[in-house]
Structure 1
Amino acid sequence: MTSTREHRTHPEAASVAETLRVALEVALPTLAGGVIKRRPAMMAVAGKLQFDRRAVRLLRRLRDRHHGHPLKLRVPGRSVGLALSGADVKRLLAGAPTPFSPSTVEKRAALGHFQPHGVLISDAAERTARRRFTEAVLQPGRPLHELAAPFARAIAEEAAVLPQSATLDWDTFNVTWWCLVRRVVLGSAARDDTTLTDQLERLRLDANWAYAHPKRKQLREEFRRRLAEHLKRAEPGSLAAVIAAEDAADAPDQVAHWLFAFDAAGMATYRTLALLASHPAELERARSELDGLDLTEPHQLSYLRACVLDAVRLWPTTPMILRETTEETSWGPAGTTVLIFTPFFHRDPDLPYADRFEPDLWLDGRAAENPALVPFSAGPAICPGRDLVRFCASTMLANLLREHRYEQASGPVLSPERPLPATLDNFHLKLKPVG
Structure 2
Amino acid sequence: MAVASRLDTGRAFAKVLLPTLAKGVIVRRPPVMAMAEKMQADAVAVATMMRFRQRYGPQPLRLRVTGRSIALLLDPVDVSRLLADSPSPFALATREKKAALAHFQPHGVLISTGEERARRRALNEEVLRPEKIDAQGIVADEADLLLRHVRSSGVLTWDSFAQAWWRAARRIVLGSFAREDVELTDMLKTLRGHANWAYLHPRREGLRRRFDGRLRRHLERREPNSLASLAPADDVAEQAPHWLFAFDAAGIVTMRALAIGGSGQAGIWESARLWPTTPVILRESTEPTHWHGAWLPAGTTFVVFAPYFHRDRERLPYADEYAPDIWPTPPEPALVPFSGGPGVCPGRDLVLVAASTMLDTLRDHLAVPTLHAPLPTTLNHFALSFDAVNTTG
Report the TM-score range of the alignment, normalised by the length of the smaller protein: over 0.9
Aligned to 2:136, the other structure's residue is in SS state: helix
Aligned twin of 2:344: 382
Letter of the 1:45 counterpart: M
* Partner Cα separation in structure 2 for residue 134 and residue 38 of structure 1: 25
CA positional deviation for 1:77: 1.1
Letter of the 1:268 counterpart: V
2:371 pairs with 1:414: yes
2:155 pairs with 1:200: no
CA contact (8 A) 2:228 2:236 kept: no
CA contact (8 A) 2:91 2:285 kept: yes
Aligned twin of 1:299: none
Aligned twin of 1:265: 250
2:145 pairs with 1:161: yes
Aligned twin of 1:8: none
Name the TM-score, length of structure 1 as normaliser: 0.85
Correspondences of 1:226-265 after superposition (within 5 Å): 226-243=214-231, 247=232, 249-265=234-250
2:326 pairs with 1:361: yes
Cα RMSD after superposing both structures? 1.3
2:120 pairs with 1:146: no
CA positional deviation for 1:250: 3.9
CA contact (8 A) 2:260 2:368 kept: no
Number of equivalences: 381
CA positional deviation for 1:248: 6.4
Aligned to 2:234, the other structure's residue is in SS state: coil
CA contact (8 A) 2:366 2:386 kept: no
* Partner Cα separation in structure 2 for residue 97 and residue 90 of structure 1: 13
Correspondences of 1:327-406 after superposition (within 5 Å): 327-330=287-290, 332-350=296-314, 351-362=316-327, 365=329, 367=330, 369-402=331-364, 404-406=365-367
Name the TM-score, length of structure 2 as normaliser: 0.94
* Partner Cα separation in structure 1 for residue 360 and residue 16 of structure 2: 35
CA contact (8 A) 1:407 1:433 kept: no
Letter of the 2:150 counterpart: Q
Unaligned 5+ runs, structure 1: 1-10, 277-281, 287-303
* Partner Cα separation in structure 2 for residue 397 and residue 27 of structure 1: 31
* Partner Cα separation in structure 1 for residue 140 and residue 273 of structure 2: 26
2:383 pairs with 1:428: yes
Q: Which of 275, 278, 281 matches 2:260?
A: 275
C-alpha deviations, 1:195-228, integer Å up to 9, x for none? 1000000000000000000000000000011111
CA positional deviation for 1:336: 0.9
| Higher mean C-alpha deviation, range 307-316 or range 118-127 | 118-127
Unaligned 5+ runs, structure 2: none
Aligned to 1:20, the other structure's residue is in SS state: helix
CA positional deviation for 1:179: 0.3
C-alpha deviations, 1:273-324, integer Å up to 9, x for none? 1111xxxxx6xxx4xxxxxxxxxxxxxxxxx101100000000000000000
CA positional deviation for 1:146: 2.6
Aligned twin of 1:106: 96
Aligned to 2:296, the other structure's residue is in SS state: coil
Correspondences of 1:39-58 after superposition (within 5 Å): 39-58=29-48
CA contact (8 A) 1:170 1:270 kept: yes
2:58 pairs with 1:68: yes
Letter of the 2:241 counterpart: A
Aligned to 2:282, the other structure's residue is in SS state: strand
Aligned to 2:289, the other structure's residue is in SS state: coil
Letter of the 1:352 counterpart: P
CA positional deviation for 1:405: 3.2
* Partner Cα separation in structure 2 for residue 371 and residue 156 of structure 1: 33
Aligned to 1:184, the other structure's residue is in SS state: helix
Identity of aligned residues (%): 52
C-alpha deviations, 1:2-52, integer Å up to 9, x for none? xxxxxxxxx311111111000000011001000101001100000000000
* Partner Cα separation in structure 1 for residue 233 and residue 220 of structure 2: 12
- Deviant stretches of 4+, over 3 Å: none
| Higher mean C-alpha deviation, range 154-163 or range 212-221 | 154-163
Letter of the 1:91 counterpart: R
Aligned twin of 2:273: 313
C-alpha deviations, 1:367-387, integer Å up to 9, x for none? 1x3110001000001000000
CA positional deviation for 1:236: 0.4
Q: Which of 200, 210, 229 matches 1:212?
A: 200
Aligned to 2:255, the other structure's residue is in SS state: helix
C-alpha deviations, 1:374-427, integer Å up to 9, x for none? 01000001000000000001111122135x13246xxxx611xx3100000000
Letter of the 1:341 counterpart: F
Aligned to 2:225, the other structure's residue is in SS state: coil
Aligned to 2:71, the other structure's residue is in SS state: strand
